[in-house]
């Protein structure tokens, strides 16, 4: 059976995984439909650009930017072997999306490396998050702007987790997060841009949450994460990862990259906590992060 080039391209374009191809200079020459859906960037926006142009801004869990250094593409092309990685790409809307990446080098008939193909899949719990959104919409427990749980649902969830801890000794922690200098964003760029910033921060929290954790908007520029079945060390690690992901994200405003940071208070729920004491402690720790210079996490 001989397939035409058009048939091959249609098969590639219809894949459920994102796929793009680069030449020897790591210039993008093909970008399929799934890549558009996962990243938000249309093919015409990325084809012809180089990895080093830093449009997708791949980064590691520890916040290292890969596009200007040893990215999976570069490593595969240099070694001539397939390379797998777990990275975070920059979505066009500003938030960070965790993706599983597999890069395969391409060679000519003489065995010379002439480029590479990268396949990537969304490794966030998007299906579970969509079901959660549908349920929250039914119960009027969704924050309309950010599409996260609203304060009413967060309070209900906190009470349920405290009951669960009391009855079954299942630990949980709270991340209290506040955008740094958000008033400056609204004053300088306007409230519409401020809303877009809240949305991309919310998108980063949602895309990088476990299905059994809950993140919501507490009010204004404050967000709360309720993290189940976690140790203090794990809670801190998860909070630091979210802080770095927000720090390394950006929103394009009139061609310029608008960046924001968050300050976080992280605390484990204690057996004698009330809802008020738990939230007050998390809020106090968050303000300690602000006082220490912002863009920090304080654990207590």
Question: What's the mean pLDDT in 131-147?
Answer: 76
User: One of 75, 157, 221, 247 is an active-site residue; which one?
Assistant: 221
Domain with CATH 3.30.70.270 in the chain: 126-299
Q: In DSSP terms, which residues pair with 142 in a beta bridge? A: 149
Whole-number pLDDT of residue 275: 95
Please say if the pLDDT value at position 11 is more than 90: no
Reduced to 3 states (helix: H, G, I; strand: E, B; else coil), residue 221 is: coil
Q: How confident is the model at residue 133 (pLDDT cuts 50, 70, 90)?
A: low
Whole-number pLDDT of residue 74: 82
Whole-number pLDDT of residue 292: 98
For the chain, how many residues are written? 300
Q: How confident is the model at residue 123 (pLDDT cuts 50, 70, 90)?
A: confident
Whole-number pLDDT of residue 131: 64
What is the number of helices (H) and of strands (E) in the chain?
10, 12
Q: Using alpha carbons, list the distances in angstroms from residue 146 to 102, 198, 227.
A: 31, 7, 19
Return d(Cα 170, Cα 163) in angstroms, integer: 9
Return d(Cα 105, Cα 115) in angstroms, integer: 6
Return d(Cα 149, Cα 135) in angstroms, integer: 10
The answer to which of 44-48, 134-138, 226-230 has the lowest mean pLDDT is 134-138
**How far from chain centre, in Å, is Cα 167?**
33
Question: What's the mean pLDDT in 53-68?
Answer: 74
Note the pLDDT tens digit of each residue in 155-178: 999 999 999 999 999 999 999 999
- Look up tokens 């992901």; give the residue: 245
Mean pLDDT of the chain: 89
The answer to which of 9-23, 58-72, 216-230 has the lowest mean pLDDT is 58-72
CA angle 191, 192, 198 (to 5 degrees): 85
Catalytic residue status for 221: yes
Note the pLDDT tens digit of each residue in 255-295: 889 999 999 999 999 999 999 999 999 999 999 999 999 99
Q: What percent of the chain has pLDDT over 90?
A: 63
Domain with CATH 3.30.450.20 in the chain: 5-122
Question: What's the mean pLDDT in 76-85?
Answer: 88
For the four alpha carbons of 22, 24, 25 and 26, in that order, the dihedral sign comes to positive
Q: Domain 5-122: give its CATH code.
A: 3.30.450.20
Domain 126-299 sits in which CATH superfamily?
A: Reverse transcriptase/Diguanylate cyclase domain (3.30.70.270)
Is residue 23 within 8 A of residue 47, CB to CB? The reply is: no
């Amino acid at each position: 059976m001989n397939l035409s080039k058009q048939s091959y391209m249609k098969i590639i374009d219809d894949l459920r995984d994102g796929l793009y191809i680069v030449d020897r200079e790591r210039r993008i020459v093909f970008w399929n439909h799934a890549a558009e859906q996962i990243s938000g960037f249309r093919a015409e926006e990325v084809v012809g650009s180089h990895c080093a142009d830093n449009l997708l801004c791949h980064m590691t869990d520890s916040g290292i930017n890969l596009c200007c250094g040893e990215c999976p593409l570069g490593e595969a092309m240099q070694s001539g072997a397939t390379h797998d990685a777990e990275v975070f790409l920059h979505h066009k809307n500003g938030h960070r999306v965790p993706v599983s990446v597999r890069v395969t080098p391409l060679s000519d008939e003489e065995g010379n490396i002439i480029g590479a193909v990268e396949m990537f899949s969304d490794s966030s719990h998007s299906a579970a998050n969509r079901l959660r959104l549908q349920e929250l919409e039914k119960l009027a427990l969704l924050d309309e702007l950010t599409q996260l749980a609203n304060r009413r649902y967060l309070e209900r969830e906190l009470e349920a987790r405290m009951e669960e801890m009391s009855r079954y000794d299942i630990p949980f922690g709270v991340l209290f997060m506040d955008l740094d200098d958000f008033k400056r964003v609204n004053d300088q760029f306007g409230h519409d841009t401020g809303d877009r910033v809240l949305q991309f921060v919310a998108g980063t929290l949602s895309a990088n949450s476990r299905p059994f954790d809950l993140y919501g908007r507490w009010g204004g520029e404050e967000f709360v994460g309720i993290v189940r079945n976690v140790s203090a060390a794990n809670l801190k690690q998860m909070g630091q990862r979210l802080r770095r992901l927000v720090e390394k994200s950006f929103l394009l405003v009139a061609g310029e990259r608008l960046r924001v940071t968050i300050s976080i208070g992280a605390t484990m729920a204690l057996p004698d906590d009330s809802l008020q004491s738990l939230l007050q402690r998390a809020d106090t720790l968050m303000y300690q992060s602000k006082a220490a210079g912002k863009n920090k996490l304080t654990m207590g």
